[in-house]
Amino acid sequence: MNRKTGQYHCHRAYCSAPSSPSAPPVFITDIQSAPFARYNRKDWPHWIDEDNDCQNTRAEVLIESSQIPVKFKRNRGCSVSHGLWVDPYTGMTFTQASDLDIDHVVPLAHAHRTGGANWSREQKRSFANDPDNLIAVDDRTNQKKSDKGPVRWKPPMESYWCQYARRWRLVKRTWA
């Protein structure tokens, strides 16, 4: 990465075979050679309350993925405090929502580097809150993953690798 210009250069382009002759390949590189604006996480609005029910995207992912009914921080039912989650990346079990991060399977910075830099703010908001791209995971594991793609990072639990790759491909295909 040229930090002065914000441009990336990739020496190898790994991609999967297209599912049909007319389908474009799904790139799984961590970087792609193309000039673009610097990544700024604030340009990708996430944890929005799209349906105005006071539960933002994070809360909705936690509610959906808990194996038991969740408990909320206050009577209003907006912020999740407790539930039962099994992190597919590690197999670890959690009962406190504060121990979890909501991972973007395809990280926002990776999406930015591979075409998302040219999206409108609304497209970036939709991508950042796409439930197909969100998963509740151990916060430390998510921090280790950072903005890496599957070429540079795989879940610690090998039995989840294929499912992770399928989900990655789904998101990349959906968002082109």
pLDDT at 35: 52
Average pLDDT on 138-146 reads 97
pLDDT at 169: 97
Q: Per-residue pLDDT for 122 more than 80?
A: yes
Q: Range with the lowest mean pLDDT among 9-23, 31-45, 51-65, 84-98?
A: 9-23
Strand order in the sheet with 71-72: 71-72, 80-86, 93-96
pLDDT at 5: 55
**Do 109 and 115 contact (CB within 8 A), yes or no?**
no
pLDDT at 74: 81
Average pLDDT on 59-83 reads 94
Residues above pLDDT 90, as percent of the chain: 77
**Do 6 and 38 contact (CB within 8 A), yes or no?**
yes
Q: Of all helices (H) and strands (E), which one includes residue 110? A: helix 108-113
Sign of the Cα pseudo-torsion (92, 95, 101, 104, in order): positive
User: Nearest-CA neighbor of 175 among 26, 20, 17, 50?
Assistant: 26
Q: Per-residue pLDDT for 63 more than 90?
A: yes
Average pLDDT of the chain to the nearest whole number: 86
**pTM score:** 0.79
Average pLDDT on 59-87 reads 95
Burial of 133: CB neighbours in 10 Å, binned 0-12, 13-18, 19+: buried
pLDDT at 36: 56
- The CA dihedral of 168, 127, 81, 138, to the nearest 10 degrees, is 30
**Do 129 and 50 contact (CB within 8 A), yes or no?**
yes
Q: Of all helices (H) and strands (E), which one includes residue 165? A: helix 161-175
Residue 25: both structure tokens together:
């390949």
pLDDT tens profile 9-45? 444 444 333 444 444 444 444 444 445 589 999 999 9
Domain boundaries, the chain: 40-175
